[in-house]
Every structure is written in structure tokens, then in C-alpha cells.
Amino acid sequence: MIRGSHRAASLFGVLLAMAVLALGIGFIRFVAVVHRPCGPLPQADGIVALTGGAERIETALRLFAAGRAPLLLVSGVARGAGLQALTRRADLDPAPLATRVTLGRNATSTVGNAEETAAWAHVHDIHSLIVVTAGYHMPRALLEMERAMPGVTLYPAPVQPPGMHRLGTLRLLGSEYLKLLAAAVGASRLMPEHDSVHPVDKSVD
């Protein structure tokens, strides 16, 4: 009986060690993806910016103004924020852009971003989409958007927020990695709203 208990404890220890190792390797790969620079972006049917952090909207607006896509959605815009205020941060004139930019105000989470984007993409017959969000948020954002828009080709345009090289970002990356794992097993809706906003990447919307 004692020998069987020792054997079970040893097996549990081995399984636990393997699980920890797998999580560690996965986290290292996640960090590598997060810091991977953005490659050349192709032309697309649309661009979506997921609010919640510095430089996301500005980057999307600059890509839009450069002609990377004819339509832009800014998903998760705070109530009261208008296009003029958003374009001012990117030093752009809102007048030529107004008819081609949609400000989505319903999303409060990554799942909400995906749902809001899917509805907009359906209305505008979008088949390819440039996704702009923070680098650490990009893997989970793409996962949720692929689920919401299985027929749409997604091109990531990650933004590296200020402060991402500080030691304190390890906690941020660990938190986002766990959220990615939860999303991968379909537990996204159990996570709290405003899940994409982090202290190092403060919302400016």
C-alpha cells in the first residue's frame, strides 16, 4: 500500500514537472512572438485598431492614411471620443477620412473586439484585414478574430508600447500568456471585461 502511494506520488511529481516545463517553453515562445517586429504589410480590404493602449490608434490611422486599406474600424472607442480627437494624435486631417472610418463603441474586451469587427467586416464585405494592437495582445486578438471571422485573412501589425522593456513587464506578459491559454481552450468569456488594458499600456481613448 505504501509502495503504491509512493509510486502515485512519483508519477504525480513527474506529470507536474512536465506541465511546468511545457508552460515555461510555451511562455518563452510567447515572449519571442510578442517582440517579433512587424514585416511588410500587404494591401487589405480593411484595418482594425483595438483600443486600450498607446500608439494603437495612431499606428492604424497612419497605415490608413498611407493607403494600406480603404476602410478603418477603431474598435472599443470610449463614449464621447470623436474622430477629430483621434486624428489629432496622429497629426492627420479628419475631413478626408470621415466617411471611411467607423468608431465602434460596443467592445469592452478582446472577445467584444472580435465580435464588433466581425459585424463590421460582414457589412463591408471585408475578406482581408490588418489588425493593429499591442504586440503582447496580438496572439490572443488574432485567436479570437479567427474564431469570429473564419473566412477573413488577418495581417498582424503589432505595436510595442512604451515601457515594454522594463522588468515590470514580466508580470504583464505572464498575465497575458495565461489569458491566451484560457482563450485557447474556449474560456474567453469567463475573463473580466476590459481585459486588454494593462498599466504599462494605458488606455488613451
Evaluate if residue 204 carries a pLDDT over 60: no
Beta-carbon-side half-sphere exposure of residue 51 (alpha carbons within 13 Å): 22
Q: Decide which of 54 and 69 is more confident.
A: 69
In total, how many domains does the chain have? 1
Q: Which of 131, 158, 162 is nearest to 69 (CA)?
A: 131
38-43 CB contacts, 8 Å cutoff, 24+ apart = 38/156, 38/157, 38/158, 41/68, 41/130, 41/155, 41/157, 42/128, 42/155, 43/67, 43/68, 43/69
Q: Is residue 145 part of a domain?
A: yes
3-state DSSP helix/strand/coil % of the chain, to nearest 5: 45, 15, 40
Evaluate if residue 33 carries a pLDDT over 90: no
Evaluate if residue 200 carries a pLDDT over 50: no
Q: pTM for this structure?
A: 0.78
Of 12-16, 64-68, 151-155, the range with the lowest mean pLDDT is 12-16
In this prediction, residue 192 carries a pLDDT of 56
Pairing of strands 72-75, 101-104: parallel
Q: Is residue 200 part of a domain?
A: no
Element (H, E) at 104: strand 101-104
- When pLDDT is averaged across residues 146-165 and rounded to a whole number, the result is 86
Evaluate if residue 44 carries a pLDDT over 90: yes
Evaluate if residue 127 carries a pLDDT over 80: yes
* pLDDT tens per residue, range 168-187: 577 778 788 788 888 887 76
CA distances from 60 to 4, 92, 123, 125, 133 (A): 60, 12, 20, 20, 9
What's 89's domain CATH number?
A: 3.40.50.20
- When pLDDT is averaged across residues 4-33 and rounded to a whole number, the result is 67
Q: Is residue 133 part of a domain?
A: yes
Q: Is residue 60 part of a domain?
A: yes
* pLDDT tens per residue, range 55-91: 899 999 999 999 999 999 999 998 878 888 888 878 8
Q: Is residue 152 part of a domain?
A: yes
Of 27-41, 67-81, 146-160, 181-195, the range with the lowest mean pLDDT is 181-195
- pLDDT class for 166, splitting at 50, 70, 90? low
Evaluate if residue 167 carries a pLDDT over 50: no
Domain that holds residue 124: 46-190
Task: Dig out the grid coordinates for 171 from the structure.
Answer: 508580470
Evaluate if residue 203 carries a pLDDT over 50: no
In this prediction, residue 168 carries a pLDDT of 54
The Cα–Cα gap between 56 and 86 comes to 11
Q: Is residue 80 part of a domain?
A: yes
Q: Is residue 141 part of a domain?
A: yes
